[in-house]
Amino acid sequence: MLDENIKVVDIDALHWLHLFELLSGRAFDERKGEKGRKKPARLFVIHEQGKVLKALDSEQRLITDKLRHIDLSGLEKLEELFGAGTIFLVERGAPRRFMQVVQRRLSLSQNYIEQLLEMYQVFRQMVESREFYIHPPLPLRDIRYAGLFNLFKLALPEDKLVVLVVFSGEHKDLSSLPIYTSLIFRVRKGHFIDLLTTTDHLARFGLSVSNWRQDYHRVIRLCEQRLGEVFLGIFTSLSAIIELQREFAKQGMGIFNRFLKEDKIILNPFPLRLKMLLKMAGRFKR
């Protein structure tokens, strides 16, 4: 979970940007053309027991005069009526009730994830009671902190690091290393993430990279010297990530095994629990 005094330090700005891009898919060529894709029509309504106080279309134009009243028991009809792909209905006063309930549940003794989950639970309840109505419905699962925490505990041991480095010869980072993006985090006792950094933290201790398939060892060594024991190290290249993205839809989890065999992804250390998980996933695919 998240330590309230988490140290976020030595973040290479380019690593951070590239990580955002990887997560949002913007780094992949085949997605670039999708930027200007048309968004589905939207309808936003504020109502008071069905009486419409405000209705806005996708262009943020007021269309309240076209929708004076809504039948709260047949909200699905709104979709047909307006051809709207996304509908968001708010009962007047619901945001205030949401904040009221949330603020009564929050406490300084909770960590940030617990606090977020309190908010999430209240939101979920209010969607269920249709004080907020969202179409298409969001898959709002009942997520409990204890469950999430146990999963986190199962996945990552205490006092260990997780290291991700994506290398790229064409992209020099701020320390002039051929690293496209990186992320290092540490889980401390009690299963709180207390450190978030990038390989920029290691640069001042002499990190150098020429052939990443060999030099990744230096990353591990420096991490262990400076930050703590590495539990999981993920080392790969930008080209492998792009290929992975392309092939994942066809081959699913099984592609990881192939990439591992071909050294396109190096997992080192590669904990047993993860090995088993990948094996199972590979079999499942076949």
Partner 1 sequence: MGVEIVSSGLKINGELVPFISGAFQYWRSKRQYWEKIFDLILELGFEFVETYIPWSVHEIEEEKFDFESQEKNLARFLELAGKKGFKILVRPGPHINAELTYFGYPRRLLERKECLSRSADGDLVWLPVPPKMFPVPSYASEAFYEEVRRWYQAVGGVLKPYLYPEGSVVMVQVDNEFCNFFRSSPYDHDYHPDAIRLWHSFLREKYKDVSRLNFAYGKKFSSFDQIEPARSFSAQSQKELVYFLDWVEFREFYMQNALRRLKGLLEEAGIKDIVFMSNYPLADDYPPNNFTELERFLDFQGLDMYPQRRQWQGIKRLARTACGLSRFACSPEFSSGAFIFNPPILLSDQRFTTPYLLMHGIKGVNFYMLVERERWYGSPITHDARVRREYFEFFKKLVSFLKSSRIFELKKYASCLVLTNRDYDRLECATTILDPLPLLSPQLTPPEFHCSEERFGFEQAIQLYARNFFEAIYRALDRAGAGLNLGNTTQELESLRRYKLVALCTFEFLNAQVQRRLRDYVEQGGFLVLGPKLPELDEQMEPCEILKQGLEIVDEVKGELRAKVFQLGKGRLVLIPHNFDQRQRKHPPEPLVELMRRLLELAGAEPRYKMLTPGAEVELHEGNGREVIFVANPRSQAIQAKIKLASPGRFKDLESGKVLSGADELEIELLGWQVRVLERENA
- Site residues, partner 1 (CB under 8 A): 2-14, 16-17, 20, 44, 46, 53-54, 56, 59-62, 64, 90, 92-93, 95-96, 99-100, 102-104, 106, 108, 111-112, 115, 119, 174, 204
Shortest Å, Cβ 213 to partner 1:
28
Q: Nearer to partner 1 by C-beta: 95 or 271?
A: 95
Q: Nearer to partner 1 by C-beta: 56 or 277?
A: 56
Shortest Å, Cβ 80 to partner 1:
25
Q: Nearer to partner 1 by C-beta: 6 or 281?
A: 6
Shortest Å, Cβ 34 to partner 1:
18
Shortest Å, Cβ 212 to partner 1:
23
Shortest Å, Cβ 96 to partner 1:
6
Q: For residue 247, with 0-12 CB atoms within 10 Å meaning exposed, 13-18 middle and 19 or more buried, which class applies?
A: middle
Q: Nearer to partner 1 by C-beta: 4 or 30?
A: 4
Structure token pair of residue 249 = 């839809």
Q: Nearer to partner 1 by C-beta: 60 or 214?
A: 60
Q: Nearer to partner 1 by C-beta: 25 or 246?
A: 25
Shortest Å, Cβ 197 to partner 1:
10
Q: Nearer to partner 1 by C-beta: 47 or 264?
A: 47
Q: Is the peptide bond before 269 cis (omega within 30 degrees of 0)?
A: yes
Shortest Å, Cβ 74 to partner 1:
24
